């Protein structure tokens, strides 16, 4: 990815309600991948969940936030799936990697 770009850091704790949470997650990832300016997404969960998605611009993030299917998912997330969450929007200024 070409610096600078943006990261959306989504940290959450879940309720105990399952109710198609995984299916919705997979659907939202598939949908995000189709959005203009989408660069990638990574997720991990054990006690808490962290999902970081990467975007070309703030405009791309804003468009995704307002996507109608995504708005439905956000509503259901607040209604049943998440105990709490925080969204942080951050500009990636530096990046380096290690690999074998």
Tell the smallest beta-carbon distance from residue 6 to a copy of itself (Å): 8
Q: Is 96 in the site for a copy of itself (CB under 8 A)?
A: yes
* C-alpha distances out from residue 39 to 25, 59, 72, 78, Å: 17, 13, 23, 26
The three-point CA angle 61-64-66 to 5° equals 115
- Binding piece for a copy of itself, criterion CB under 8 A, among 21-29, 30-38, 90-98: 90-98
Specify whether the CB–CB gap between 66 and 29 falls below 8 A. no
Residue 94 near residue 4, CB atoms below 8 Å: no
94: contact with a copy of itself by CB under 8 A: yes
Please identify, among the stretches 19-27, 29-37, 78-86, the one whose residues bind a copy of itself according to the rule CB under 8 A.
Answer: 78-86
What residues line the site for a copy of itself (CB under 8 A)? 7, 9, 11, 42-50, 52, 78, 82-100
């Amino acid at each position: 990815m070409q610096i600078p770009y943006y990261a959306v850091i989504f940290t959450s704790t879940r309720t105990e309600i399952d109710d198609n949470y995984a299916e919705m997650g997979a659907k939202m990832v598939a949908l995000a991948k189709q959005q203009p300016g989408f660069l990638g997404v990574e997720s991990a969960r054990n006690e808490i969940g962290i999902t970081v998605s990467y975007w070309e611009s703030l405009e791309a993030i804003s468009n995704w936030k307002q996507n109608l299917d995504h708005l439905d998912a956000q509503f259901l997330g607040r209604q049943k799936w998440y105990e709490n969450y925080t969204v942080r929007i951050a500009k990636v200024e530096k990046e380096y990697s290690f690999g074998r």
